Structure 1
Amino acid sequence: MKKKENKHLIFDNPKKIDLKFFIKLALSFLLSFFYKIKLNLIFPREKRTLKYKVSICAIFKNEAKYLREWIEFHKIVGVEHFYLYNNFSTDDYLSVLTPYIDSGLVTLIDWPVMQGQMSAYRNCVERFQNETQWIGFIDIDEFVCPNSFDKIGDFLEQFKKRPIVIVYWRYFGSSGILERDENTLVTESFFSCWEKYADIGKCFYNTNYDYAPDLKGNEWMHYRWGKYKNQKLPPVNVFDNVCVLGFNPVGTDKMPIQINHYVVKSLNEYKEKSKKGDACFKENGHNMSYFYEHERKSQFADFHIFRYLSELKLNIEESYKLEKINGGGYTRIVFSKHCAIFQKRRAA
């Protein structure tokens, strides 16, 4: 028998419930206890002069129309710098990024490497780990949303003695939108989601530690060990529970922080995404079966991110004004109309 979920999480890979499963489960309890003691006894290097507390590393391809909202949102929740790796983009991404580069907020790296996501992450660690306390590895369709705190850095403050923190995904569907007006926000347009969080997400790396040798497959993104003085150390999740052997100890539905993963967006955007390939995998699995699989699980709503929308809209408006002053193109976005439509829909 295979189990697809537990009380709080949906499994990315269904778990076969057999004797081997229970042996691994028991062993995970023992290892978690052992590593928790070990983590608490290690005092990593801390006295360093760093430019930033929280930074994000991301690789992108032809996502210019999403970059402004993504950057402006993460500025609000405390991201101080962005290391962005361009992977064969042919759209007008530079017109969006140039003001942020000029202000020192964005470091842009050209990365013409096929399936270059993992190598870009490694490059970021090697080049920039001495500039920032934390590096989060996320994509442009992912938004890190603090729930119990206002800032990501405030949340991460309690993990000073942890090498890696895993923040879990919440998958969002299309909310029934076939073609989205690009003058609307991703974070406002899509609110239908899966009932439970995924048992995978993305990692925030504490540069007081070293990275352990590479793991195989896509584990770099979702699950990663750290190292200090040749001692390998496992990641913890947002509840400070050690994650080993594929188990994620989560005892509540209330996440202090989450990653909103807008994996499909609207149907027309999903079709665009399907055509451009993948920065990690050679085989692009973004077919219509994948779309409908995510749609049919999106029977619930999540509005955690809405508490940042007013500030986000004002900041985006301001960024357009600054771009105009600096000689860039300027198109005014009217948010109030879309907001009014949404408010009426909710009231009904």
Structure 2
Amino acid sequence: MRITSVTTMKDEAPFILEWVAYHRLIGLNDILVFSNDCSDGTDDMLDRLDDLGLIRHYPNPSMFTGNPKHHLQVVRYINTFSRLRRSDWVTSFDADEFICINTGAGKVEDLFNDMPDTDVWSMSQLNFGHGGVSEYTDALMGEQFHYCWDYHSNFFTRQNKRGTKSMTRMAAKPVEIRNHSCVFDPAAQNNLIMRNGSGAHIKDVDLSRDVKSLLHPDYGFDLVQLNHYPLRSIDSFLLKRMRGNANHDNADYGIKYWRKYDFNVVRNDSIARWIPDVRAMRDDLLKDPVLGPLHRSAVENAQNRIAGLKQNEHVQGLMAAINRYVRRNPGILAQAAG
């Protein structure tokens, strides 16, 4: 069974090895990564992982077209790949997202085996706050970030919803792969089975469009959730702000974005069972004579960049605003600290 994933990356070097190790371990065996405008060694690390047969690394076509909408350029490009049509399953997700399987041994095949009639699995984002972590360290995501949104509360002004990415069975014959989901011919929708992360059959979703979110009560997390770490630590958030947005070059990762995601309401350690295996695989990768030095250089570079950013007056203002928000909105962190 070939399970293909598609991801865009820019300046993710310190985080790559964990992300690749984890997703290889849970069963993604055809990881396609498209990079653009990297300045922190990301390209070199991806090239070496490609050499080792762990991923396939391509330049983002945006590097040729000059179009700053990097995600959208990849989406258009991958639809020319005949090999994706020969995959059994295809999904698209980001470098700050981890597919977390909550059934069986925690592998994607366990999800598929649970309900083999499924054509589309909709994986809803479980958004993690910064969890009280201020400094950037070279530790695993699952070791550092434990606090997130709860499964069902409304964190939006108007609609109780969750962002979603989908895994699609290619034998169902989608007409196009999109960023969040595949899309189908409207005439074929009645013959498709789409399930949410709890395995419920979702019938009232238009699969002829890119499904970007599900409204309550249609989303679920019992069988699969998409752990989303949009902030990481406060220090790491500064790196994200410097990197910029993959689709909107004028977007600003400022305090508004921080307030959108930094809800530390409950503790969720569903991904924790993978920490020993991920650490072991990452340690093996660090023994590679090329990857090891590249990763250590990426960590040092991240630390230096953070130190430099903290000297900037505007960044200091953002950090002050973040720290004020954190003090006033501790969530469950106040109980954890006590």
Which of 160, 183, 194 pairs up with 1:225?
Answer: 183
Q: In 2, distance between residues paired with 1:60 and 1:72?
A: 16
TM-superposition CA deviations, 1:220-279 (whole Å, max 9, x none): 434543249x63466432314224167657479652111100011111211221222211
Cα deviation, residue 301, structure 1 = 0.8
TM-superposition CA deviations, 1:279-312 (whole Å, max 9, x none): 12344142112213322x2221110010100111
Greater strand share, structure number:
1
Paired residue secondary structure (1:211): coil
TM-superposition CA deviations, 1:104-124 (whole Å, max 9, x none): 221111012411212312322
- Counterpart of 1:284 in structure 2 is 251
Q: In 2, distance between residues paired with 1:331 and 1:86?
A: 20
Asked if 1:156 is matched to 2:112, the reply is: yes
Matches within 5 A, 1:154-303: 154-158=110-114, 161-181=117-137, 183-196=138-151, 199-212=162-175, 220-227=178-185, 231-232=188-189, 235-238=194-197, 239-242=199-202, 243-244=204-205, 248=215, 250=217, 255-295=222-262, 297-303=263-269
Paired residue secondary structure (1:129): helix
Aligned length: 276
Q: Identity across aligned pairs (percent)?
A: 18
4+ long deviations beyond 6 Å: none
Matches within 5 A, 1:127-146: 127=81, 128-146=83-101
Q: What runs of 5+ residues in structure 2 fail to find an aligned partner? A: 153-160, 207-212, 298-335
**Which region of structure 1 is more displaced relative to structure 2, 121-130 or 308-317?**
121-130
Tell whether the 8 Å contact from 1:95 to 1:328 is kept in structure 2 after alignment: no
1:116/1:159 Cα in 2 relative to 1: closer, same or farther (>3 Å)?
farther
Which of 123, 127, 137 pairs up with 2:77?
Answer: 123
Tell whether the 8 Å contact from 1:83 to 1:124 is kept in structure 2 after alignment: no
Q: What runs of 5+ residues in structure 1 fail to find an aligned partner? A: 1-51, 215-219, 333-345
Tell whether the 8 Å contact from 1:141 to 1:262 is kept in structure 2 after alignment: yes
Q: In 2, distance between residues paired with 1:329 and 1:273?
A: 20
Paired residue secondary structure (1:119): helix
Letter in 2 for 1:75: R
1:250/1:224 Cα in 2 relative to 1: closer, same or farther (>3 Å)?
farther
1:252/1:168 Cα in 2 relative to 1: closer, same or farther (>3 Å)?
closer
Q: In 1, distance between residues paired with 2:218 and 2:174?
A: 28
C-alpha root-mean-square deviation of aligned residues, in Å? 3.1
1:191/1:324 Cα in 2 relative to 1: closer, same or farther (>3 Å)?
same
Letter in 2 for 1:122: R
Paired residue secondary structure (1:204): strand
Tell whether the 8 Å contact from 1:163 to 1:227 is kept in structure 2 after alignment: no
Q: In 2, distance between residues paired with 1:159 and 1:329?
A: 41
Cα deviation, residue 136, structure 1 = 1.4
1:280/1:179 Cα in 2 relative to 1: closer, same or farther (>3 Å)?
same
1:314/1:130 Cα in 2 relative to 1: closer, same or farther (>3 Å)?
same
Cα deviation, residue 195, structure 1 = 1.4
Q: In 2, distance between residues paired with 1:249 and 1:330?
A: 41
1:157/1:88 Cα in 2 relative to 1: closer, same or farther (>3 Å)?
farther
1:278/1:330 Cα in 2 relative to 1: closer, same or farther (>3 Å)?
closer
Q: In 1, distance between residues paired with 2:115 and 2:76?
A: 22
Tell whether the 8 Å contact from 2:97 to 2:227 is kept in structure 1 after alignment: yes
Taking structure 2 as the reference length, the TM-score comes to 0.72
Tell whether the 8 Å contact from 1:121 to 1:137 is kept in structure 2 after alignment: no
